[in-house]
Amino acid sequence: MSINDSIEQLVSDQRRFFKSGVTRDIHFRMEQLNKLKTALIAKEDEIIKALQQDLNKSEQESFTTEIGIVYKELSYVMKNLHKWAKPRRVKTALTHIGSRGEIHPEPYGTVLIISPWNYPWQLAISPLIGAIAAGNTAIIKPSELTPSVSALITSMIKDTFSDQYVAVVEGGPDTSTSLLKQPLDYIFFTGSTNIGKVVMQAAAKNLIPITLELGGKSPCIVHKDAPLKLAARRIVFGKFTNAGQTCVAPDYLLVHESIKEPLLKHMKEAITEFYGDSPLMNSEYGRIVSEKHFLRLSNFLSNGSLRHGGKCDASKLLIEPTLLDDITWEMPVMEDEIFGPIFPILTYDHLDEVITSVNNRPKPLALYLFTQDSQVQRKVLSEVSFGGGCVNDTLMHLATPHLPFGGVGESGMGSYHGKHSFETFSHMKSILRQTNKFDFSFRYPGKEGLKLLRRLMKP
């Protein structure tokens, strides 16, 4: 059987299983989430090992950014699922006296989750939690660039669920193309903007609803009143975690001219504190995922002037945490999302310059602002559009199930995490329950009814 035939059969089997109604039962969903929880706990050591093999992630980084986030997401969803899944009553309009409006969450059906390589565990399993909680069947397509993690996801899912309920399909772009041709009910994609456009075009052919979690050049703005040492530690953490291969990593630094030098001094100190004097020799420093990405990133090192780092090891696909100064907007490093441990630095004198510069470019997935001035905070947050972000921190908005996570414009559409994951994978069905105890004549044709409707409905 060809890959196309096997994928077609898998989707058919999942659609048939969904139509049986089994997945709609809340108790069934809770049982499956419990099974997933048990499997995750049992596989924790193997997850850490696989992440180390594919990306050289340390145990601390693996647990913090991949495993712990999934645990927290799962616990929060299981705690609240019964409440979220109940029909919700809404207000009744004056013209609808006697009726009752309700919103009924219902699953879409068979969903496809296409996950990326940079956080290959978290970004596959976290959406799956939402899909299961909402009552769907699911197919996961993990990245071929992280084969150890992909193989582990495959084995864990196969040992935990039947293929007709949750399945994993490994492979490269051809496999994704085959999956996208299927009569799916929902697509959840995490990856680059360019591939996101391809996914959206494929979904549009069959009018399949979609969530796109993309990327973009996320700015980090440091105003003149920021506490520099603390800001430096939080910026370095956000930028160089996973060797900068994070969709919400600060992509470039916009620092007030008056504090540039002291901030850079503190950032250099933080880099040394976190990764040592020789990061390329640090066994727990992350590597670049592939030779192709390594070559793309290493070409940026000639942009501007080097202020820190810059050394590479092509044999190990390592690039030091690097600070680039004297950067202009026209340089190649400022064209697209960097997605690596290279941090270009620009300066500003007036806040309006920053707002104009950011707004002249595609809307970023994240924005980070360091300032203690509440007026500056209000101005930036109200005048710049971005997916989400932090004031006086980086990355941490991603790690809470209480906030929706997603992009806007070219950085994506739709959001998830916590209740928002449940809602993403649910159709909110509107129901009006009408009374039979009486009937209003004004709803029917006639001049008297029109007069009354005008009085009731005109603003």
pLDDT digits (tens, 9 = 90+) for 157-196: 999 999 999 999 999 999 999 999 999 999 999 999 999 9
Residue 339 near residue 192, CB atoms below 8 Å: no
Give catalytic status of residue 247 as yes or no.
yes
Residue 140 near residue 169, CB atoms below 8 Å: yes
User: Which residue type is seen at 352?
Assistant: D
Q: Which residues pair with 205 in a beta bridge?
A: none
Select 219-399's CATH number: 3.40.50.1000, 3.40.309.10, 3.40.50.880, 3.60.20.30: 3.40.309.10
Domain 3-214+413-431 has CATH 3.40.605.10: yes
Q: What pLDDT shows up at residue 444?
A: 76
Q: How far apart are CA 153 and CA 122, in angstroms?
A: 11
What pLDDT digit, counting tens, does each position of 342-359 carry? 999 999 999 999 999 999
| Residue 181, token pair as written in the block | 């041709």
Average pLDDT over residues 324-337: 96
Q: How far apart are CA 154 and CA 432, in angstroms?
A: 43
Q: What pLDDT shows up at residue 404?
A: 96
pLDDT at 453 over 80: no
Q: Where are the domains of the chain?
A: 3-214+413-431, 219-399
Give SS3 for 435.
coil
What pLDDT digit, counting tens, does each position of 198-222 carry? 999 999 999 999 999 999 999 999 9
Residue 408 near residue 385, CB atoms below 8 Å: yes
What pLDDT digit, counting tens, does each position of 80-130 carry? 999 999 999 999 887 788 899 999 999 999 999 999 999 999 999 999 999
What pLDDT digit, counting tens, does each position of 41-72 carry? 999 999 999 999 999 999 999 999 999 999 99
**Res. 447 pLDDT band, cuts 50 70 90:** low
Under DSSP, the state recorded for 405 is B
Average pLDDT over residues 260-288: 97
Q: How far apart are CA 80 and CA 33, in angstroms?
A: 12
Q: What pLDDT shows up at residue 90?
A: 94
Q: What pLDDT shows up at residue 448?
A: 67
**String of DSSP letters for 94-111:** GGGTT-EEEEEEEE-SEE
Buried b (16+ CB within 10 A) or exposed e, 255-289: bbeebbeebbebbbebbeebbeeebbebeebbbbb
Give catalytic status of residue 320 as yes or no.
no
- Identify the active-site residue in 61, 66, 73, 247: 247
Question: Around 167, how many Cα atoms within 13 Å sit in the side-chain half-sphere?
Answer: 21
- Identify the active-site residue in 61, 66, 73, 213: 213
Q: Say whether 219-399 and 3-214+413-431 share the same fold.
A: no
